[in-house]
């Protein structure tokens, strides 16, 4: 499958470690993450952006994979961190993120969350609505230099009415989106912020959606922020799609960076700072989920291959009908029979892949589902009392757990007698 390597016997090897060894050591289900893949992608983004627009920073949209080991890794690579809410903010700080490089998001930031961000020294808070401005004005004391470089830095998030061709639930820039301000209101917020004695308006922010597989919406988004006038900072969001299945052909990171900086060179001030916030494309391809086959059942026109995980550790299929490839991890991938790869949860929507060719699957076989680094750990849950799986980093033939598997005791930890 995309992004994986096999040994001579046809078994998958992840980060130099045979899958059988990983399954033996950590059990299944498990999320295996290739550290080198995340680092390579981080460098590709950071260097690629800097080469095209030197006054810039790549910022990791941490919602895609909010575990401290991943934050640490991307902080080490020199990226800024985008956090959505107090929880991600706390994780980022715990992992050593520089507060000045934090970009704080949310369409419903509470006063408590804003206080947390301000007190932590978060460099940038993205204003999504007028209530954000009211709350920040209440929290902050007047700063004599707010107009000339002092004060809390903020960006205004705009809703440009751009409709990328992606799933409705992950489209965020269309008219009617709950995110950001439509252009007339954004102009009003900008005017108000320019007179604030507490807040420093640095610029504008746009993010039009996720798993976007063409470049046009990104170029349109840069045109939209340019229309609002000249600012010191333009945050262009994230959204570049990943290659989940063989037929998917997302643009490369380079093509994406060309697309945004080509428009920026035409329309944005030459001395402006550009931020980008990739999430999915930074981590998706680094992850492979390992499962064990629990049952194989034929009937109703399907061969159901049921595994020991599912929508508890991967909600992408249920929520967004994302398609994944899959393979028996310990044998060569042959032609195989079209199977329905399903999970162990009490719900018919608990499917990992509706029709995937699997080579003679048997109970006890290891199944690998690749490209599961993004939004899987992030959305994992305890439905049916499932214990969330461990996260294991692999690199140069070595492996180390960075999140342990939940235990049954964990399931009761918050329950009061
Ligand atoms: N910046 C902002 C303000 C965002 O809202 C997002 C994602 C990103 C950056 C990163 O976008 P990416 O590069 O990952 O596409 N739970 C959904 C994805 C929701 C994405 C929400 N915002 C899923 O599992 O597909």
- Cα 241 to averaged position of ligand 1 atoms, centre (Å): 10
What is the ipTM score, two decimals? 0.98
Cα gap 64→67, rounded to integer Å:
10
β-pairing verdict for 80-84 and 56-61: parallel
Query: Which residues are catalytically annotated?
Result: 346
How many CB atoms neighbour CB 78 within 10 A? Answer: 14
Q: Any binding-site annotation on 279?
A: yes
223 is in an annotated binding site: no
Give me the pLDDT at residue 279, please.
98
Mode of pairing for the β-strands spanning 391-395 and 30-34: parallel
CATH number of 5-34+284-412: 2.40.37.10
Q: Which atom of ligand 1 is nearest to the CA of 315?
A: 24
Residue ranges of the chain whose pLDDT lies below 70: 1-3, 147
Cα(26) to ligand 1 centroid in Å equals: 29
| pLDDT score, position 12 | 94
Give the number of the atom of ligand 1 that is nearest the alpha carbon of residue 277.
Answer: 9
Q: Which atom of ligand 1 approaches the CA of 375 most closely? A: 24
The per-residue pLDDT for 3 is: 60
The answer to whether 166 and 210 are in contact (CB under 8 A) is yes
Cβ 375 under 6 angstroms from ligand 1: yes
CB neighbours of 40 closer than 8 A, spacing ≥ 6? none
Global pTM value: 0.96
Angle between helices 111-120 and 130-139 (to 10 degrees): 60
Distances (CA, A) of 289 to 32, 255, 376, 416: 6, 28, 9, 33
Length of the chain: 417
Q: Does domain 36-282 fall into CATH 3.10.180.10?
A: no
Ligand 1: residue whose CA is nearest its atom 16: 375
Q: Tell me the domain boundaries of the chain.
A: 5-34+284-412, 36-282
Question: In the prediction, which pLDDT does 10 show?
Answer: 86
| Residue 277 assigned as binding residue | yes
């Amino acid at each position: 499958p995309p992004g994986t390597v096999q040994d001579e016997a046809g078994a998958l090897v992840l980060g130099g470690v045979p899958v059988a060894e990983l399954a033996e050591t950590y059990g299944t289900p498990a999320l295996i993450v290739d550290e080198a893949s995340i680092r390579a992608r981080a460098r590709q983004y950071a260097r690629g952006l800097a080469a095209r627009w030197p006054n810039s920073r790549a910022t990791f949209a941490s919602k895609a994979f909010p575990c401290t080991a991943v934050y640490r890794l991307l902080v080490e690579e020199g990226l800024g961190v985008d956090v959505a809410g107090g929880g991600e903010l706390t994780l980022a700080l715990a992992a050593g993120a520089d507060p000045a490089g934090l970009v704080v998001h949310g369409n419903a930031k509470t006063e408590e969350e804003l206080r947390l961000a301000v007190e932590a020294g978060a460099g940038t808070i993205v204003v999504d609505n007028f209530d954000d401005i009211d709350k920040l004005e209440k929290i902050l004391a007047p700063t004599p230099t707010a107009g000339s470089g002092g004060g809390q830095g903020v960006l205004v998030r705009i809703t440009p009415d751009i409709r990328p061709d992606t799933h409705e639930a992950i489209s965020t820039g269309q008219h009617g989106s709950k995110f950001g301000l439509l252009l007339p209101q954004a102009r009003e917020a900008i005017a108000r912020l320019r007179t604030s004695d507490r807040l420093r308006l640095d610029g504008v922010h746009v993010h039009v959606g996720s798993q976007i597989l063409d470049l046009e919406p990104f170029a349109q988004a840069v045109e939209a922020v340019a229309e609002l006038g000249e600012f010191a900072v333009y945050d262009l969001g994230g959204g570049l799609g990943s290659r989940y299945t063989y037929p998917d052909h997302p643009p490369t990171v380079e093509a994406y960076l060309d697309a945004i900086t080509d428009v920026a060179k035409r329309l944005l001030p030459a001395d402006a700072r550009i931020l980008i916030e990739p999430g999915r494309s930074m981590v998706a391809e680094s992850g492979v989920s390992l499962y064990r086959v629990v049952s194989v059942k034929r009937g109703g026109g399907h061969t159901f291959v049921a595994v020991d995980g599912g929508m508890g550790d991967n909600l992408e299929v249920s929520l967004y009908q994302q398609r994944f490839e899959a393979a028996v991890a310990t044998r060569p991938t042959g032609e195989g029979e079209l199977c329905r790869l399903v999970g162990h949860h009490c719900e018919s929507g608990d499917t990992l892949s509706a029709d995937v060719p699997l080579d003679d699957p048997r109970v006890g076989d290891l199944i690998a589902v690749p490209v599961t680094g993004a939004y899987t750990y992030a959305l994992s849950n305890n439905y049916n009392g499932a214990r969330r799986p461990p996260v294991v980093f692999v690199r140069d033939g070595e492996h180390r757990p960075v999140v342990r598997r939940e235990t049954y005791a964990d399931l009761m930890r918050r329950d009061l007698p």
